[in-house]
Amino acid sequence: MHKATFWKSAAVVTLSLSAGGIFGWWSAVPSIDSATTLSFAVQLSTQGIFSSVRLHFLKYVLCNNFATLATLYSYGVVSGGLSAVFFCFTQGVRVGAIMHNTQSNAHGAMIGAILMIPHGIPELASFIIASSSVLCLWHELLRMAVSEAPGPNAKAISTGLLRVNSLAAIFLFAAALVEAYVTPALGTWIAHVRGLYNG
């Protein structure tokens, strides 16, 4: 897998994500508000690190993240990579809608950003990497089908994809850990600062 091809694919899916963010902001699609997220984060932070509730939430987030990744791969391969680009667009719409729905209140926008950004950055990075790898796979397959010039063999392509997707899995695992352990602590801190929680 060529690095140039990967970076071009990453640029395409990042542009799709950005376009989705602009559309989500502009269209004001309904989303979860920051008050609901803050309340849940504070409730979760009262549980012990290894409590059954916290571990169950971590398991839920991990299963949800990796199920999303598996769906992204499967539909992306079947659709020639188009659904991977569309997936990134929908993720952008989601982020844009959340930020739009909290921007009317400066405190709400700050809370939404603090609670979403720490786990959102590695999560979105993982989806960008995965989507780019699907586009790279289709690029290599099409190039091998139409070009007579020798290119990388199947082993080289699969090795490159394995490396890239391992990185995507690591980012997604890190995002789940942050969402289960860091985000609740941030939620409690915000609630303390705003005088909403005295636990």
Domain count, the chain: 1
The distance from CA 41 to its chain's CA centroid, rounded to whole angstroms, is 19
Structure tokens at 91: 């993720």
Q: pLDDT digit string (tens) for 108-161?
A: 666 777 788 889 999 999 999 999 999 988 888 888 778 766 666 777 778 888
Q: pLDDT digit string (tens) for 44-99?
A: 777 777 788 888 989 999 999 999 999 999 999 899 889 999 999 999 998 888 77
| pLDDT at residue 199 tops 60 | no
- The mean pLDDT of 101-106, rounded to a whole number, is 62
Q: What confidence score (pLDDT) does residue 196 get? A: 54
E-assigned strands of 19-102? none
Q: What confidence score (pLDDT) does residue 146 get? A: 80
Percent of the chain with pLDDT over 90: 36
Q: Which residue has the higher pLDDT, 36 or 166?
A: 166
Within 10 Å of residue 79's Cβ, how many Cβ atoms? 14
Structure tokens at 169: 């899995």
46 part of a folded domain: yes
Q: pLDDT digit string (tens) for 163-176?
A: 999 999 999 999 99
Q: What confidence score (pLDDT) does residue 160 get? A: 84
7 part of a folded domain: yes
| pLDDT at residue 106 tops 60 | no
Q: What confidence score (pLDDT) does residue 51 get? A: 83
198 part of a folded domain: no
- The mean pLDDT of 5-33, rounded to a whole number, is 85
How many residues are given for the chain? 199
Which residues make Cβ contacts (< 8 Å) with residue 157, sequence separation at least 6? 1, 137, 140
Q: What confidence score (pLDDT) does residue 38 get? A: 63
Range of the domain at 160: 3-193
13 part of a folded domain: yes
199 part of a folded domain: no
Location of structure tokens 């969402």: 179
Integer Cα distance of 31 and 70 in angstroms: 24
